[in-house]
Amino acid sequence: MGQEIDLLINYPKTKRDVQARGAAKTEEDRDIARKFGKDFFDGDRRQGYGGFFYQPRFWQPVIPSFIKHFGLTSSSSVLDVGCAKGFMLHDLTRLVPGITVKGCDISQYAIENALEDMKPHILLANAKDLPLDDKSFDVVISINTVHNLEIAECAQALREIERVSRGRSFITVDAYHNEEEKQLMMNWNLTGRTIMHVDEWKKFFAEVGYTGDYYWFIP
């Protein structure tokens, strides 16, 4: 198994009112969010992002960490599983000219509204069944996506990441270290279907054969 490492340490932190979100959202909001359509990306804040727009201040500070950790160059290839509108991939191509990128997402809406330069590189696909060849990417990245599947499908997705990568990958998943963090997560969560203690995740990674790097999303 890979290492626990926060490659998103330079992603700008936003102030979250977790308690208010927990009190406001309903099961109907969760159902709408899990369709990953317009309502989730560009609708009401209770059901998702409340407007999902490109801002270079988010991913451009993170890309150097990816470059250093994975040794990315213009000859590298990177797959983003759950790429949404392609923001991270766009910034990656700007900071590493010539790099080969591809993204996949379950949302037809996100793909149709992706950044224009990324549209040719994004395909509609579920993380549990990637229509890509074995060992076709140097690095596979998946940020806050795998946990949106039921646990058996999570296992499939992790095995797919293993299959299409050439041995290097990085994922982040919803997790918690203690009961306080667990409660925060449950208040915050809209789309996650598999949320576990960090130790449970590590055990799960070993059981399904995931050998990449990983870190946690905790609100």
Closest to 193 in 3D by CA, of 211, 173, 212: 173
Q: What is the model's pLDDT at position 179?
A: 96
Q: What is the tens place of the pLDDT at every residue in 150-165?
A: 999 999 999 999 999 9
**Across 56-81, average pLDDT:** 98
d(CA 172, CA 23) in angstroms, rounded, equals 25
Kindly list the distances between the CA atom of residue 27 and the CA atoms of 58, 74, 140, 209, in Å, as whole numbers in the listed order: 29, 45, 32, 33
Question: What is the average pLDDT score of the chain?
Answer: 95
Q: Is the pLDDT of residue 21 over 80?
A: no
Residue ranges of the alpha helices (H) in the chain?
18-24, 27-33, 38-42, 56-59, 63-70, 87-95, 108-112, 151-164, 179-188, 198-208
d(CA 125, CA 203) in angstroms, rounded, equals 27
User: What confidence tier does 45 reach under pLDDT thresholds 50, 70, 90?
Assistant: confident
Q: What is the tens place of the pLDDT at every residue in 178-206?
A: 999 999 999 889 999 999 999 999 999 99
Token reading at 144? 């806050």
* Ordered domains of the chain (ranges, CATH): 18-217 (3.40.50.150)
Q: What is the model's pLDDT at position 97?
A: 98
Using CA atoms of 218, 24, 105, 115 in order, give the dihedral in degrees to the nearest 10: -100
**Across 2-25, average pLDDT:** 81
Residue 126 class from Cβ within 10 Å (0-12 exposed, 13-18 middle, 19+ buried)?
A: middle
